[in-house]
Amino acid sequence: MMRRIKSLLHGLALLLPFVAAAQIDPVKRDLFQFGYNQPLEGRAPVAGYAYFYHNQPDFLRTNLTLRIALAPVYLDSELGFVHGLGPNTDFGIGVAGGGFADSYNEIRGGKWIEGESFDGHGAEVSASVYHLINPGDLIPLNLVLRGAAHYSAYDGGDNMAANFHPPEDGANYSVRTGLRYGGIEPTLFPELAMELAVWYEGQFRTHPGAYGFNGDRELESATHLFWASAALSYTLPESKQNFFVRLVAGTSTDADRMSAYRLGGFLPLIAEYPLSLPGFYFQELSARQFALVNASYLLPVTPNQQWNLIFNGATAGINYLAGTEQAGSWVSGVGGGILYRSPSNRFKCIATYAYGIDAFRSSGRGASSISFLLQIDLARHSGDKFNTAQPNHWSGWNWLLGR
């Protein structure tokens, strides 16, 4: 029983530090988010998220914004100073920490290798600068600069092989910078959104070196990640059909198992840039380089648009991380399900089935999974429409799309 509870907490803490948007959120929000991904073939680690997201502009003073994402065993927070470094430049100080978010699960050839997986716990402090380059324009262009100091502590977990040694505990420092044009709200399938972004992140470890079986794998002293994203979400005014498309591509230098891009699963709010592949295990594939296309389509099937059919698919080209390769560098997955939303749109619930066309399992290619997603928006008011103050609801979009 304790092992199952520990595994569940591990899964629910996964990747929580990345739910934060890379700019100060100007909208009051109280969101509860839950997501769970269950494979129907094979064994995989628990994959899911559960957190409460609170964003409060005018916190104590008119120029302060407090953001908190609280999970069962992890906290991620930032205090933002609006115009803290000038009329177009905001500043933020962040604190995060808790259990299991630095854990690693080894998955090779469609198999979860528990003996080479381990738990990780950590704490982090960060400072961020958000500069608005084009004040007064309809769609904002932001320059983001963020520095962080993170400490990780590892332990073997219940099922790690006796002769396998996890990485040494230690600190790592990171710097992230990028340009973001537009933005996407931290909600399930926003009605209207667009984003173009390019990013660089450098990760620097104080305790690099060998680990594993007699030092058969390595933590690099420095890893450099480069990626770009283009996304569009649009809802047809009359029929309320919605489509969402996102293209993400990334490359790296000196990536290792702890810093590589990891693709798989269908959990759209588990990360700022979720690398979803329906039907695959969560984070099943490790990549040095990749290009991924995700697309979703919502079709209302009742006059009040409360019930919707949802269809999604993804395809990716992958250059695998050394030691995690498998046959075939192109992978795809598809899925479909049902979405229910309440009349006020405060409540959304999604159940989906997915098929990983190219996923390796013991029976050959192909694997199935199911996902359950839930969102409760405690701050939303009935009848809310597009709000030009929100980061993805600009009047400029209505003009560009002829609305």
Range of the domain at 386: 2-400
**d(C-alpha 80, C-alpha 146), whole Å:** 13
Q: Considering the entire predicted model, what is its pTM?
A: 0.88
Going by DSSP bridges, is the β-strand pair 164-165/209-213 parallel, antiparallel, or unpaired? antiparallel
Q: Is 247 exposed, middle or buried (0-12, 13-18, 19+ CB in 10 A)?
A: middle
- Report the 10 Å Cβ neighbour count for 323: 14
Residue 229 sits in a domain whose CATH number is 2.40.160.50
Could you tell me how many residues make up the chain? 403
Residues of the chain falling short of pLDDT 50? 1-21, 381-403
Each residue of 142-189: pLDDT tens digit?
999 999 999 999 998 778 999 999 999 999 999 999 999 999 988 998
Place of tokens 């904002």: 140
Return the structure tokens found at 92.
């933020």
Number of domains making up the chain: 1
Each residue of 244-291: pLDDT tens digit?
999 999 999 999 999 999 999 999 998 899 999 999 999 999 999 999
What pLDDT score was predicted for residue 345? 86
